[in-house]
């Protein structure tokens, strides 16, 4: 039961007492104030904060797996006969560890060469951003490919901040490139013959030709002759050239000696009549693409267009730094697909782990060194290779696939 309490003034208690106001006065005012989006009273979204931090961070740690497919894997370090290319050895051989120097490249920010007579074709150059001292290659534990050969793991032992990386057309980097540069060896013939190399060149007219190429030790900032691309300014688009073969190819010539051949024509009065075809020096030609793309991110498929003279401030302020001016205050660009999302038109996107303030890009790679069958002699050698007749199995394999979903017997 509530009871009413009466508060007596101090003067009614004692003549010397001071009257005290026991109620607190509240001032009512009308004043506007900003409501903060996030304050101590709001529930925070960990997902939104994670996505914001990841999008604001352009630091990558790059690692991956390499499957090396080549007849040069297992080749003798010193070879002189054709059989040396087809009889792998376990020791003293050429392999991925001693036959390549690995670099990391990005599209160069200047110096592209325009093809004469074309308004859209350019020879693209690359710039070194990491050297073999930044690269680690080792056997992947308990991992072989379908041929029973060792698979390798690689890692760049430092991080890469791609924020300043733009190419000659001011496109932000969407790819980096692993660059395995072959190290030419020698054969065991006398005199010693070194392997030689060639690469593709488009000259000034866009027609691909093979030109001599001598690998050299590269440093950070050095440039590498690249491939052929098409660039459309109005569409903000770069693609491999559709006018000419666009892929860069490195060619490796491995010399060997074809031994002399003695041919018996017949026997005359008990004396064999023979002719001798002398030994000849030949080359086998091998080829590979030296620029292996490592995907960082994608552009959206839709094109954005804004005119700074007619658009609102909000729209103008949203124009990214890499937008391309096409004149009269008009800008075009394509937005970058955020991490963890996909473009609904192309279904492309990436979702790399984001830990310790960096994105971890894992890339499985196939490094394929194949014979160049466009070379007449190499084609002849490989057409003469004979394989044993395969054994045909007549026994039907036992399978339970047809019984899936049926009751057990």
Q: Tell whether the model's pLDDT for residue 275 goes beyond 90.
A: no
pLDDT tens column, 215-264: 999 999 999 999 999 999 999 999 999 999 999 999 999 988 877 777 77
d(CA 122, CA 233): 13
Tokens 């084609």 -> residue: 379
Q: Tell me the whole-structure pTM to 2 decimals.
A: 0.80
pLDDT tens column, 333-350: 999 999 999 999 999 999
d(CA 260, CA 263): 10
| Highest mean pLDDT pick, 86-90, 142-146, 196-200, 262-266 | 196-200
In SS3 terms, 332-355 reads as EECCECCCCCCCCCCCCCCCCCEE
Q: Tell whether the model's pLDDT for residue 380 goes beyond 80.
A: yes
Angle value at C-alpha 40, between 37 and 41, nearest 5 degrees: 80
pLDDT tens column, 347-370: 999 999 999 899 999 999 999 999
Torsion angle of the four alpha carbons 19, 21, 22, 28, in this order, in degrees rounded to the nearest 10: 180
- Taking the domains of the chain in order of start, what are their residue ranges? 46-300+336-388
Q: How far is CA 394 from the centre of its chain?
A: 45
């Amino acid at each position: 039961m509530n009871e009413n309490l009466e508060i007596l003034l101090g003067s009614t208690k004692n003549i010397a007492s001071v009257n005290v106001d026991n109620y607190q006065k509240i001032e009512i005012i009308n004043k506007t104030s900003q409501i903060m989006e996030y304050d101590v009273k709001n529930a925070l979204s960990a997902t939104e904060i994670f996505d914001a931090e990841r999008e604001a961070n352009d630091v990558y740690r790059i690692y991956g797996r390499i499957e090396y497919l080549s007849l040069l894997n297992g080749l003798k370090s010193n070879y002189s006969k054709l059989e040396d290319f087809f009889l792998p050895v376990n020791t003293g051989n050429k392999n991925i560890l001693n036959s390549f120097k690995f670099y990391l490249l990005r599209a160069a920010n200047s110096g592209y060469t325009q093809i004469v007579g074309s308004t859209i074709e350019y020879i693209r150059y690359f710039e070194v951003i990491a050297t073999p001292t930044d690269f680690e290659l080792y056997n992947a534990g308990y991992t072989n490919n379908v041929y029973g050969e060792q698979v390798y793991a690689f890692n760049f032992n430092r991080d890469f901040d791609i924020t300043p990386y733009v190419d000659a057309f001011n496109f932000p980097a969407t790819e980096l490139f692993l660059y395995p540069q072959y190290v030419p060896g020698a054969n065991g013939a006398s005199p010693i013959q070194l392997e030689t190399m060639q690469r593709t060149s488009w000259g000034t007219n866009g027609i691909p030709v093979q030109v001599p190429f001598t690998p050299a030790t590269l440093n950070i900032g050095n440039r590498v002759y690249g491939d052929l691309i098409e660039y459309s300014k109005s569409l903000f688009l770069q693609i491999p050239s559709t006018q000419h073969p666009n892929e860069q190819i490195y060619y490796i010539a491995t010399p060997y000696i074809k031994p002399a051949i003695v041919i018996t024509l017949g026997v005359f009065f008990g004396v064999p009549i023979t002719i001798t075809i002398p030994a000849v020096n030949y080359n086998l030609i091998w080829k590979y693409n030296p620029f292996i793309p490592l995907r960082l991110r994608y552009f959206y498929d839709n094109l954005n267009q804004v005119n700074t003279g007619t658009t609102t401030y909000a729209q103008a302020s949203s124009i990214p730094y890499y937008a391309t001016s096409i004149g009269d205050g008009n800008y075009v660009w394509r937005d970058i697909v955020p991490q963890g999302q996909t473009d609904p038109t192309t279904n492309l996107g990436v979702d790399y782990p984001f830990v310790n303030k960096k994105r971890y890009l894992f890339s499985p790679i196939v490094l394929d060194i194949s014979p160049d069958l466009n070379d007449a002699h190499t084609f002849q050698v490989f057409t003469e290779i004979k394989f044993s007749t395969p054994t045909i199995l007549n026994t039907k394999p036992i399978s339970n696939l047809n019984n899936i979903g049926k009751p057990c017997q």
